[in-house]
Structure 1
Amino acid sequence: MTKKYLSITLLVFSFFLSSCGSGDNEGTLSGSINIDGSSTVFPITEAVAEEFRSEAPNVRVTVGVSGTGGGFQKFLRGETAINDASREIKPTEIETAKQNGIEYIRLSVAYDGLAVVVNPQNDWVDNFTVEELQTIWEPSAQGNITRWNQIRSEWPDEEIHLYGPGVASGTYDYFTEAIVGESGSSRGDFTASEDDNVLVQGVSSDQFALGFFGLAYFEENQEQLKLVGVKDGEGEPVKPSTETVANGTYTPLSRPLFIYVSKQAAQRPEVQNFIEFYLDTAPKLAKSVGYVAMPDSAYNAQKEKFQAFISDSTAVQ
């Protein structure tokens, strides 16, 4: 009898250990994670979310696209756990966070380049200088710079039709800061959309179009678009690619991509698991969706930063 009960006890204990060792991701982890923000960061975050759903099927992960600015509005009202961002948080947004008692951490997840594109039937443009792009996009260009031959005299006497991300987009903020010299400052007479697919459609169907958006969207639609190089200073024109973004030769239109995680959300096990999973899988998934992975040391640094954040009572920015 003693041996029988001992065997039963050992069997139950073994099952208990097996259950504990299976990990949260095999069924015990549950909850929901609401994410919104940048259309540029969306592809990598959605790819991570898809992988995570397989690992933690009881966690509901939703990824929306409101642009970086629109996403921050929701994030700073406490409506989302994570905000995808293709730029750093602005001073006005930092102030809103303080007023609303929102603590957060910024984590870098990949690098991206902005693609300057024209229609494939455009046979006159191979590259722009930064100065030419500024001439086209600066606020004073509205109503004044309207035709291709105003940029270079040998280009056709045809209207330029401009396409770009909406003003709530981090891509718009980054482009205007890098090209015009002031974030959010540009002419207003262009076709704007927070949905990069709308921009792809516009440029691909208009011979006289010129647009910009994240490199990943060009790579997804490269058969419909023509990528042009950018010349910064005295150097040769450079086109964005995994190599030129990673080595810093594509300037000034390469940048880091971020996720912002709220302190309150980061206390939840499902969010902690998701962020750890994100930083573990980002190197592989970044490449698969057209972005440039950071060095392993950089991802390790982000993991350490996040661990310090969730264990410390003071937010780390």
Structure 2
Amino acid sequence: MSRETTASLPTGFGRRDFLAAAGVALSGGLAGCSGVFAAEGKQVNVAGSSTVFPVTEAIASAFSEKNPTVNISLSKTGTGGGFGNFFCAGRTDINNASREIADAEIEQCGNNDVTPIEFQIATDALTVVVNPEADWVDCLTVEQLQEIWRTDGAQRWSDLNDEWPDEEIELYGAATTSGTFDYFNEAVLGEELNHRSDYYATERDRTIVQGVRGSETAMGYFGFSYYSENPDSIKAVSIDSGDGCVEPSIETAMSGKYTPLSRPLFIYVAKESLTKPAVRNFVRFYMEQAATDLVSDVGYVPITEDKRDENLEKLDAAVAEVTE
């Protein structure tokens, strides 16, 4: 399982400098945190999706500015890694997720007396990227994506188009523990095809940026936020799902035109953790901020005010049940 520390995180929007001052810990070793914060119930532990990470990070920094005595530990473990190794094991309060929780994960949570509560917090335009020098490709059909990413698929660009370079496609993508992997697999490959294994698989989206930036024949995919932080060093590919080429953006994700790679993003909160004031206050703040420009500044589509109100009602009901 891969983890990222502060030193290796992607940069953008000036968030990292603030985090250091605000007391938001960015570390892999968050589980079982001890010390004064944990002892006083002022520790909030979050793991999971690297795609959702920028949203949670930005909201955590804003929360920490107003609540400096609360320590929020954030870690990138992938959606599946977060559920399996931390959240459903009872070691974290919140799991960032770029897909819905699986039945097996719900069962694991239940076996450990963890009750997951789902909150949608944004919409993402999952983005396919290539090197800016790859001037032969600006748009790909879903069928071409399938041919590239399926088992025993295309090895060279010329396999897709005779006019494209006779060069090997260097592939970077999400690890199998990632919700991004699961979503891409379902949306692009479907039930009939399997995702190829001969690619550089990682939870570190910055590694994908570096790999694609460093090779003219490379391709990768990840959440739109990581593209929006690096628009000059990598190129986003438009996707044609049958109605023409559509560019990934906040606007096309919001309108529903960017298919099939627009997807909802979630956090899952352990109901039992809502007994802690720090956790329920952070989650309430999160729901309020998820409907603001803070989310679009990160590179995702905010939830609607109606969804925000629905989330807050769900949160209030859960808090009432555990604090009676």
Give the alignment's TM-score, normalised by structure 2: 0.84
After TM superposition, the structure 1 = structure 2 runs for residues 206-285 of structure 1, keeping only pairs within 5 Å, are 206-233=215-242, 235-282=243-290, 283-285=292-294
Counterpart residue number, 2:13: none
Aligned-partner SS, 1:54: helix
Code of the aligned partner of 1:187: R
Q: Is 1:31 aligned to 2:39, yes or no?
A: no
Code of the aligned partner of 1:305: K
Code of the aligned partner of 1:34: N
After TM superposition, the structure 1 = structure 2 runs for residues 29-108 of structure 1, keeping only pairs within 5 Å, are 31-73=42-84, 74-108=86-120
**Percentage identity across paired residues of the two chains:** 46
Counterpart residue number, 2:207: 198
Code of the aligned partner of 2:102: K
Contact conserved, 2:41 with 2:276, CA < 8 A, in 1?
no
Counterpart residue number, 2:22: none
Contact conserved, 2:142 with 2:240, CA < 8 A, in 1?
yes
In structure 2, the CA distance between the partners of 1:105 and 1:289, relative to structure 1 (3 Å rule), is: same
In structure 2, the CA distance between the partners of 1:118 and 1:182, relative to structure 1 (3 Å rule), is: same
Contact conserved, 1:122 with 1:207, CA < 8 A, in 2?
yes
Aligned equivalents of 2:268, 2:192: Cα separation in 1: 20
Code of the aligned partner of 1:188: S
In structure 2, the CA distance between the partners of 1:101 and 1:94, relative to structure 1 (3 Å rule), is: same
Aligned-partner SS, 1:139: coil
Contact conserved, 2:123 with 2:262, CA < 8 A, in 1?
yes
**CA RMSD, Structure 1 to Structure 2 (Å):** 1.5
Contact conserved, 2:150 with 2:193, CA < 8 A, in 1?
no
Code of the aligned partner of 1:180: L
Counterpart residue number, 2:184: 175
Q: 1:184-210: per-residue Cα shift (whole Å, max 9, x none)?
A: 941000011101000000000100001
Shift of 1:80: 0.1
| Structure 2: 5+ residue stretches without partners | 1-39
Q: 1:136-187: per-residue Cα shift (whole Å, max 9, x none)?
A: 111232xxx2110111121111111111011111111111110000499410
Counterpart residue number, 2:17: none
Counterpart residue number, 1:13: none
Contact conserved, 1:177 with 1:183, CA < 8 A, in 2?
no
Shift of 1:284: 2.5
Aligned-partner SS, 2:264: strand
In structure 2, the CA distance between the partners of 1:60 and 1:215, relative to structure 1 (3 Å rule), is: same
Code of the aligned partner of 2:71: R
Aligned equivalents of 2:309, 2:152: Cα separation in 1: 45
Q: 1:97-131: per-residue Cα shift (whole Å, max 9, x none)?
A: 12222111000111101111110000100111001
Code of the aligned partner of 1:43: P
Contact conserved, 2:93 with 2:269, CA < 8 A, in 1?
yes
Q: 1:36-91: per-residue Cα shift (whole Å, max 9, x none)?
A: 00000000101111111111111111111101111112100000000000000111
Aligned equivalents of 1:230, 1:284: Cα separation in 2: 26
Contact conserved, 2:42 with 2:71, CA < 8 A, in 1?
yes
Q: 1:239-274: per-residue Cα shift (whole Å, max 9, x none)?
A: 111110001000000011100000110121111110
Aligned equivalents of 1:184, 1:256: Cα separation in 2: 23
Contact conserved, 2:132 with 2:216, CA < 8 A, in 1?
yes
Counterpart residue number, 1:24: none
Contact conserved, 1:173 with 1:184, CA < 8 A, in 2?
no
Aligned-partner SS, 2:201: strand
Q: Is 1:110 aligned to 2:122, yes or no?
A: yes
Aligned equivalents of 2:134, 2:149: Cα separation in 1: 19
Give the alignment's TM-score, normalised by structure 1: 0.86
Aligned-partner SS, 1:224: coil
Poorly superposed stretches of 4+, deviation over 6 Å: none
Aligned-partner SS, 1:188: coil
Aligned residue pair count:
281
Counterpart residue number, 2:25: none
Contact conserved, 2:239 with 2:247, CA < 8 A, in 1?
yes
Contact conserved, 2:151 with 2:193, CA < 8 A, in 1?
no
Contact conserved, 1:37 with 1:69, CA < 8 A, in 2?
yes
Aligned-partner SS, 2:263: strand
Aligned-partner SS, 1:112: strand
Shift of 1:311: 2.0
